[in-house]
Amino acid sequence: MKCSVCGKDASNEVCNNCIKMEKILYQKEWSHKSGLLARNEDYRVAVSNLRISGRLSIGDNNKGLNTRIDNVSHYLLNVKEVSNNGKDLMISLEGGPENRYTRFLYLPGFAEGDQLIKAVMDAKEKAAALTERIRQSSGMAPASSAPSPAPAAPAPKPAAPAPAPAAPTAAAPAPAAAPTPAAPAAPAPSTTDTIALAGIAEDISEFETKIKKLKVLRDNGILSDAEYEAEKKKLVSIF
Ligand SMILES: [Zn+2]
């Protein structure tokens, strides 16, 4: 399987490297009993800027037959439609050129269809933008479906201004990384998500700190421009 975002080999639709950029934007848990004799089942749906995931009813046909309840995780841009099949909210998925498939997720007894639809639409825009950024920084051609903003934009430079060339002690701790704009957490995220988000924030700030250090080295003439670019590429591939 190939990562739908960066195209590298992956064990899931979104590889472990790309998942580090994930931010949960919407999450909901609920319980539902499908019939008199059925037992109460717990369901969960989460929408991030890269995936739709959770514990849902899943099947291969759009009539809701032969479904099973399972943990799911799909690349968000593979969501083709969120609709109501008259009974349950249904999410249609269709894989891209990397991984071809058709699948349907069902959310029995889900009460916030409108909110979920809006969350998916908003998150898809973010997923498209983030995918472009990751593909550009890994030197991939932009997705043909999305219009590329600036033609032939050079590798995105970190937005943070270069710190003033102070004493060239490379080991000096760089100033605290610029706060990454935290996504306006929709409904209060559960503790596990908070922990996951903290981990992501840590990764990002570590990355930014390292980039800043490289810049200081370059600004002080310790690294040539070419060396700086090479080191930066290495960093991008690690994170
Ligand atoms: Zn990836």
d(CA 177, CA 165): 16
Tell me the CA–centroid distance for residue 238 and ligand 1, in Å: 12
Give the pLDDT of residue 217: 77
Give the pLDDT of residue 182: 57
- 194 SS3 class: helix
Claim: this prediction has a pTM higher than 0.75: no
Which residues, given as ranges, of the chain have pLDDT below 50? 146-150, 153, 189
Tell me the CA–centroid distance for residue 16 and ligand 1, in Å: 7
Tell me the CA–centroid distance for residue 3 and ligand 1, in Å: 5
d(CA 27, CA 133): 25
Residue type, 113: G
Tell me the CA–centroid distance for residue 19 and ligand 1, in Å: 7
Tell me the CA–centroid distance for residue 98 and ligand 1, in Å: 12
Angle (deg, nearest 10), helices 225-238 and 191-219:
170
Tell me the CA–centroid distance for residue 20 and ligand 1, in Å: 9
Tell me the CA–centroid distance for residue 105 and ligand 1, in Å: 23
Determine contact, residues 22/200, Cβ cutoff 8 Å: yes
Determine contact, residues 62/223, Cβ cutoff 8 Å: no
Tell me the CA–centroid distance for residue 9 and ligand 1, in Å: 8
Which residues sit with Cβ closer than 5 angstroms to ligand 1, an ion?
3, 5-6, 15, 18
Tell me the CA–centroid distance for residue 99 and ligand 1, in Å: 13
Give the pLDDT of residue 210: 79
Phi, psi for 22 (deg, rounded to 5): -80, 140
Calculate the CA 147 to chain-centre distance: 20
Residue located via tokens 């959770």: 54
Question: Token pair of 21, please?
Answer: 């950029």
Tell me the CA–centroid distance for residue 193 and ligand 1, in Å: 20
Other beta carbons within 10 angstroms of residue 140's beta carbon come to 15
d(CA 161, CA 159): 6
Tell me the CA–centroid distance for residue 206 and ligand 1, in Å: 19
Q: What is the DSSP string of 98-124?
A: SS--EEEEEETT-S-HHHHHHHHHHHH
d(CA 130, CA 37): 45
Close Cβ partners of 90 (under 8 Å, ≥ 6 residues apart): 62, 64, 82, 83, 84, 104, 105, 106, 107
Question: Per-residue pLDDT tens for 114-172?
Answer: 999 999 999 999 999 999 999 998 876 665 554 444 455 455 555 555 555 555 555 55
- 141 SS3 class: coil
Give the pLDDT of residue 202: 64
Give the pLDDT of residue 219: 82
Phi, psi for 76 (deg, rounded to 5): -60, -35
Tell which residue, 235, 172, 188, 162, has the closest CA to residue 24: 188
Tell me the CA–centroid distance for residue 136 and ligand 1, in Å: 12
